[in-house]
Amino acid sequence: MKSKLLLIVLALLTLNTTLAATGLSPLPQQSQAALLSAEVLSRYHYKGMPLDDAASAKIFDNYLKSLDIDRLFFLQTDIDRFGNARTRLDDAILKEDLRIPFAIYNLYQQRITERIAFARSLLLRGFDFTQKENYQYARKNAAWPKSTEELNDLWRRRVKNDWLRLKLAGKDDKAIAETLNKRYDNFLNSMSKIKSDDVFQRFMSAYAMAIDPHTDYLGARASEDFDISMKLSLVGIGAVLQDKDEYTTIRELVAGGPAALSGKLKVGDRIVGVGQGNTRTPTDVTGWRIDDTVALIRGAEDTAVRLDVLPAEAGPDGKHRLISLVRKKISLDKQAAKKTIIEVKDGGATRHIGVITLPGFYQDFAAHQKGDKNFKSATRDVSRLLEEFKKAQVDSVLMDLRNNGGGSLDEAIELTGLFIDKGPVVLQRDSKGQVTVANDTNAGAVWNGPLGVLINRGSASASEIFTAAIQDYGRGVVIGETSFGKGTVQSVVNLDQLVKSDKPKYGELKMTIAQFFRINGGTTQLRGVTPDISLPAMIGEEDFGESSYDNALPWIQIKAADYTRAGDLTSIVPRLIAKHDQRVAGDKDFQYLREDIAELNDRRKKNAITLNEAERRNEREAQEVRVKLREKKLGAAIADGDSALQDDGLQANERNLDADLAIEKARKNAKDVLLDEAVHILSDEVALLKTNARLVSSALPKLN
């Protein structure tokens, strides 16, 4: 037994020293942060999972999945080589020795280099597109390749598919080879910029998410991005940037920001240098990671930043411009609540449905705590929009929470209060089993009229709290897909504050501390919120959502809260469903959507695409014929810029900026069939309420 343990230790040491000598290594503060995280997670996490060999195995699997989800880089022999580490990652954390996860990552980088070299060699040989063979594009459930020959064949099919896509898009062989070679260069360049912090972030996320899907570790950059997403503001120049051909390129200027107001910058300009103050020589940032460049551009409010800019129209050797800007607080209004009023014609009647799109439940916590009366808040923004709807005399309001992943629990509670009088909104149970009730304490509602909530599989957490409360109170009609199913509460623990560190060293933990429950006693955990009226689902529950995780908490029931329903929609919902079914049966757009979803699901099940050129051309031509036939039946083009949505075989960073922006515009302008049907459902409700006083008294007891 002792000799076996000695061999395991020697094997791990060999793996560590061989790879660490040529790759990335852990920093002392990272090992300390890992141990701190383990102490916090083991003691205070809602699930209370100890860090032992069983946990180590889960961390190991998560880590490999994060590196090589489609099993295209590691061989089975690599996995066997790591086998001894499978139950040693807990020891690595507790003993503050992270050489093993870094060794695994260094081998991963080595395998990437080998794969790219092999891919390049294929470009010189060419491909036979008359063969009958397929490419399996999703391999997360496949076995690890057993040999280099098997891995080579997987990559041959992968590169062949990339080549064929470009060929079908009209590129010749020379252009295809240049595009793919450049793609490989960009991939290797991005890998060369990976830092020790990135590896540590990935490993710690694998650890945290082994406990539950929504616990995570946040390094300094991740923590900053999380804060920005919650307060919807940052201090900078007001430009959306992207990495393109080793340049930090301006993709968009934020209206009202210093960059836009200066008139000196435009979309497509490249920032090649960044300096602090008006006189300091800018630091050359060509080839830098974009987050490093952004870190230099951001800074304290009312301070100057000096940019060395290569204009969009200039070549690589073109004349530069030096531009000085003063940093200001930038409000990220695109991610804030926004409104539209949609007109619905029904026979001789015209109804107006006010739609509020809410991407997240945001709140500037710091500004709120400081007593700033104008702190950014989802509830405050929605309240303002509701007042505007009342002035516009809309007939009904639809809260569009599709793809709203949640955010502040307080905002979910307060937002619910805009539509009910006062009372319980959500129940929380902590790790000790103690249940508390979170109430809306503000009397009265901002909007008492007809209400609908539109959700999809991407509606999670705070979205589900709000939607469930609206449904349980009988306050509004829930429309769409079953929601995500995240019924847990997270809190952010600052590890530096915990150990009273003066400098940011250890990062933060976003940790599950409680489970929330609907006021009816059920939980949204795992099962999500089931809509009153279902619309076609774009994504299967097995592919996305809480039920797709193997370590999700179970669904349970507790005692319901004491609450009084605000309305009763049980009589009206069946009538709305009947009208919905009748309408969509004759709606060509809706039927085409169903066809597209069915085709997409069929492709997912097949999980393979032919590599025969003739077959692919036939598929492409059949798709084009189908689009033209649909346009003929509809009497108009399906979407502005529809040709921009055709597969061009390119990745996002390979297109020129104009083409990329055209695709983005085309997607935004595409008809939103599900939103259109949702507003028609609310229009039907308004019509029923206007003709049936009994329904009004039951569905809207407090209608103005």
Reference 398, options 412, 414, 419, 384; nearest CA is 419
Question: 461 an active-site residue?
Answer: yes
Q: Are 406 and 486 in contact (CB under 8 A)?
A: yes
* Helices and strands in the chain, H and E counts: 23, 21
The catalytic position among 160, 167, 486, 579 is 486
Reference 624, options 647, 598, 652; nearest CA is 647
Rounded CA separation 435/409 (Å): 16
Question: 472 an active-site residue?
Answer: yes
Rounded CA separation 161/649 (Å): 9
CA angle 141, 142, 147 (to 5 degrees): 150
Q: Which amino acid would we find at residue 342?
A: I
Residue 298's contacts (CB-CB under 8 Å, 6 or more residues apart) are 234, 235, 236, 327
Three-state SS for 499-556 is CCCCCCCCCEEEEEEEEEECCCCECCCCCCCCCCEECCCCCCCCCCCHHHCCCCCCCC
Rounded CA separation 202/640 (Å): 40
Rg over alpha carbons for the chain, rounded to the nearest Å, is 28
Rounded CA separation 155/145 (Å): 11
The catalytic position among 461, 463, 547, 683 is 461
Alpha carbon 165 to chain centroid distance? 27
Alpha carbon 107 to chain centroid distance? 29
The catalytic position among 269, 308, 440, 472 is 472
Q: Are 81 and 15 in contact (CB under 8 A)?
A: yes
Element (H, E) at 63: helix 53-67
Give the residue numbers marked as catalytic.
461, 472, 486
